[in-house]
Amino acid sequence: MSALNARALPFLQWALLACAAPHLASAQQLIHEERSLYRQVLVYEEPDTRCLCFTRQCSIGRQSCIDLRQPDRLVFEYTRMMLGALFLEPEPGNILIIGLGGGTLPHTLRQLLPNAKIDVVEIDPAVVRVAEHYFGFHADARMPVFEEDGRAYVRRVLRSDKRYQLIMLDAYDSQYIPEHLLTREFLGQVHALLAPSGIVAANTFSASRLYDSESVTYRSVFGQFYNLRSVNRVILASNAALPSLAQAAQNSQRFLAAFKPLGFTPQSVLARFSTASDWNAGARVLTDQYSPANLLNSQAP
């Protein structure tokens, strides 16, 4: 966020900035609305953008957007940063994505990795229907969708021999990541579900009072990780030794041509890779007994 530190912004101010649309709010047109078992699900459209939101007017719930004129272009920077996981594991054959949204990440990964098997987990059937009807997402035998809680899915699959080379954590409700998907116990299960030298990519916020606790929680499970920061922040970690930045840079060259239709370059993502600890190492680790979601509603320090 230029020279500003995102954590210095009040949470609501940050959220409004993150959800700023290229046109005035008055240009938004509500084209779909339904109340699911879990949330309000809304789809807004502007002249060149369609967005999935979990709150009215997308004030703090802009989950996924597509460019109607260039559908392959990635609108949100966090999705580009999540693809930085491919610099650590460029050929994952088995991928798990927890959280569907509009289906941007699974759709893009299927284009980039046509031979990969991609399992998608989404708790809300309404979100799956909206992704299919309004955002062009299509499940198939190579990319099935499991309609269940992400943690329940991980726990269930751990009882089998199946393991993943890449796991992406991108599950959100109307405000933030569900608290049971933030704890050391859950991340320990994710760690165990990774194949040897497997990679996890997690989408979180840069402006949250849980930033320090999230960081020490991931560090307690995975050790050193890459921290990519913009308005969102993406954590890239491994269940083995973290690949070096030099290796990541070398792998990134494979995607020079592939990323061009997506609207960005590998270098723009690689420039955000950092292993510097910009958090309070004495913060409390998040656990199943301590995961205070209420802190999210306070302004960041």
List active site positions.
Answer: 170
Phi, psi (deg, nearest 5) at residue 131: -60, -40
Distance CA 211, CA 97 (A): 22
DSSP, collapsed to helix, strand or coil, labels residue 264 as coil
Instruction: For residue 279, give both structure tokens.
Output: 């958090």
As a whole number of Å, the end-to-end CA separation of the chain is 16
Token output for 119: 């399992």
99 vs 248: CA distance, rounded Å? 26
Residue 22, CA atoms < 13 Å, CB-side half-sphere:
12
* 79 within 8 A of 67, measured Cβ to Cβ: no
- Element holding 217 (H helix, E strand): helix 211-222
User: Amino acid identity, residue 275?
Assistant: T
- Non-local (6+) Cβ contacts of 219 within 8 A are 225
The closest alpha carbon to 63, from 74, 79, 52, belongs to 52
What radius of gyration do the chain's Cα atoms show? 18
Please say whether the beta carbons of 98 and 121 come within 8 A: yes
User: Could you give the CA distance from residue 124 to residue 100 in angstroms, rounded to a whole number?
Assistant: 9
Phi, psi of 44, deg, nearest 5: -110, 150
Q: CB-based contacts of 265: which residues, under 8 Å, 6+ apart?
A: 256, 259
**What tokens were used for 270?**
């690689």
